[in-house]
Amino acid sequence: MTSIPVLTIDGPGGAGKGTISSLIAERLGWHLLDSGALYRLTAQAAVKHGVALDDEAALERLACTLDVAFPVEAGLPRTLLEGEDVTGAIRTEQAGERASRVASLPAVRQGLLQRQRDFCQAPGLVADGRDMGTVVFPDAPVKVFLTASAEERARRRFQQLQDAGVDASLSSLLKEIQARDARDTQRSVAPLKPADDAITLDTTRLSIPEVVDRLIRLLAQKGLASAH
């Protein structure tokens, strides 16, 4: 497909993909695709325009014409939908739940496909999602599947919310994570699963720097990055 190197990082929500992907992209000076944000933005656009979350044809049109931008302001990455700052709004549990619903619709996935591939630009791309290695970048030279137990992922999310001063219940977070896993792995199109040639890494007992180091070493073995 392309000679631009792509590192795909797939896995369930809360496995640390977002943090790890952005640290690696920063370290290598590569571009970053947060594909989950595109599903979150499609759902957000649907709410904004009064489109039902099961109206596949209307959602496909929204996905194809999504007006989004990812500027960096004062060193912080922002997300704009039709010029409106939705950086925080698309990160709520409710926004994640809506994203998971629109992401189960084949026409929405098709509508976002080319937009995702357009992120593949020199010098390289770190692509974070559920189907980066299986569907969007099947020829990527390095594919990783990051996992962690559902309990550990709920604990991490709980900690994140607490740090942000948001009230949360660990047991309801665990239930939400399990429901989202079920929907993401059982959908008929592009279900969450490791690519045949992906390396699976369980991060339950690994720190963020340990995971970053392992992935940089993998890229170095393929001659795509320096290990230091």
Least distance between ligand DC and beta carbon 176 (Å): 10
Among all residues, whose Cβ is closest to ligand DC?
36
Q: Rule CB under 6 A: which residues touch ligand DC?
A: 13, 35-36, 39-40, 96, 99-100, 103, 129-131, 180, 184
Whichever of 7 and 225 has its CB closer to ligand DC, that residue is 7
Least distance between ligand DC and beta carbon 78 (Å): 16
Least distance between ligand DC and beta carbon 221 (Å): 25
Whichever of 60 and 131 has its CB closer to ligand DC, that residue is 131
From start to end of 102-182, where are the E strands?
125-129, 142-147
Whichever of 77 and 226 has its CB closer to ligand DC, that residue is 77
Whichever of 98 and 225 has its CB closer to ligand DC, that residue is 98
Q: Which residue pairs, CB below 8 angstroms and at least 24 apart, start in 110-117?
A: 110/60, 111/59, 111/60, 111/61, 111/62, 111/63, 111/64, 112/35, 112/38, 112/39, 112/42, 112/63, 112/66, 115/38, 115/66, 116/33, 116/35, 116/38
Least distance between ligand DC and beta carbon 220 (Å): 26
Judge residue 160's burial from the number of C-beta atoms within 10 Å of its C-beta, 0-12 exposed, 13-18 middle, 19 or more buried.
middle
